[in-house]
């Protein structure tokens, strides 16, 4: 479990295929020496398990699902990645509950550069947009952010100067792909409401994203 508050930016220094898995070596002197075998580390939003570490770097192994569903499968030597170690239960939860289980990818459609901040617009598949709500939480490349706009075909977030300075979001440009994890609590609510709809309608499943009309139909009033 993570918070979406990035600790440091690491650099991919090696990508080694080994059968069905790919081994990544990440240079991260700020946290590497404090890791232990089996620790969970979020790499740009995707939870991975540490298989080796030394004073300057650590290794993880990606399964085919991680390679296919996340942007980690597109990484190259020299690629920067946002890093966060698993949260401590005795600490404040300053971001939001992040599982490190990426739902899919979105692409940057537009960036508005303001005085010191940026507003970034993303296009995404329907199944991703269905879990995005205005003023809700979303994890983008491992970064906890608040949604500004949540429309049928896009969503947007605002990024403050500190986040721009300390994460890879500062380097985003139109067309770039990012990892997306939608709000964990929202997923369970959606699953519950879809199950209720399915039972009420003789096994028919919800084909599209939830709307206020559908919520009313399901009994949410």
Lowest mean pLDDT of 46-55, 137-146, 199-208, name the range. Answer: 199-208
| E-strand stretches of the chain | 8-18, 21-27, 40-43, 46-53, 57-62, 80-85, 104-113, 118-123, 137-140, 143-150, 155-159, 177-182
Q: Please report the pLDDT score of residue 217 as a whole number.
A: 61
pLDDT, tens digit, for every residue of 210-220?
555 655 665 65
Q: Judge whether 142 and 43 are in contact, CB under 8 Å.
A: yes
Choose between 109 and 219: higher pLDDT. 109
pTM: 0.86
Stretch 180-198: mean pLDDT, rounded? 75
Give first-to-last CA distance, the chain, whole Å: 32
Same CATH fold, 104-182 and 8-85? yes
Choose between 55 and 220: higher pLDDT. 55
Q: Please report the pLDDT score of residue 89 as a whole number.
A: 83
Task: Pick one of 2.40.30.20, 3.30.565.10, 3.40.190.170, 3.20.20.450 as the CATH number of 104-182.
Answer: 2.40.30.20
**Class at the top of the CATH hierarchy for domain 8-85:** mainly beta
Domain boundaries, the chain: 8-85, 104-182, 185-217
Nearest to 168, CA basis, from 23, 4, 8: 8
Percent of the chain with pLDDT over 70: 86
**pLDDT range class, residue 6, cuts 50, 70, 90:** very high
């Amino acid at each position: 479990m993570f918070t979406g508050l990035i600790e440091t930016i690491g650099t991919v220094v090696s990508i080694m295929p080994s059968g069905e898995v790919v081994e990544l070596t990440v240079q991260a002197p700020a946290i590497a020496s404090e890791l232990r075998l089996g620790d969970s580390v979020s790499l740009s939003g995707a939870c991975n398990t540490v298989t080796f570490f030394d004073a300057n770097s650590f290794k993880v192994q990606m399964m085919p699902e991680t390679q296919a569903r996340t942007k980690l499968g597109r990484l190259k030597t020299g690629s920067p990645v946002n890093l966060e170690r698993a949260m401590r239960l005795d600490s404040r939860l300053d971001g939001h509950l992040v599982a490190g289980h990426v739902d899919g990818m979105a692409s940057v459609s537009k960036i508005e550069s303001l005085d010191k901040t940026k507003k970034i617009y993303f296009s995404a598949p329907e199944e991703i947009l269905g879990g995005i709500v205005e003023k809700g939480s979303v994890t983008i490349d491992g970064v906890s952010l608040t949604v500004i706009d949540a429309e049928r075909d896009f969503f947007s977030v605002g990024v403050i100067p500190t986040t721009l300075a300390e994460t890879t979001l500062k380097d985003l440009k139109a067309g770039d792909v990012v990892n997306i994890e939608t709000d964990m609590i929202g997923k369970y609510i959606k699953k519950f409401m879809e199950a209720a709809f399915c039972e009420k309608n003789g096994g028919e499943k919800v084909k599209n994203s939830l709307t206020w009309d559908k919520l009313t139909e399901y009994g949410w009033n």
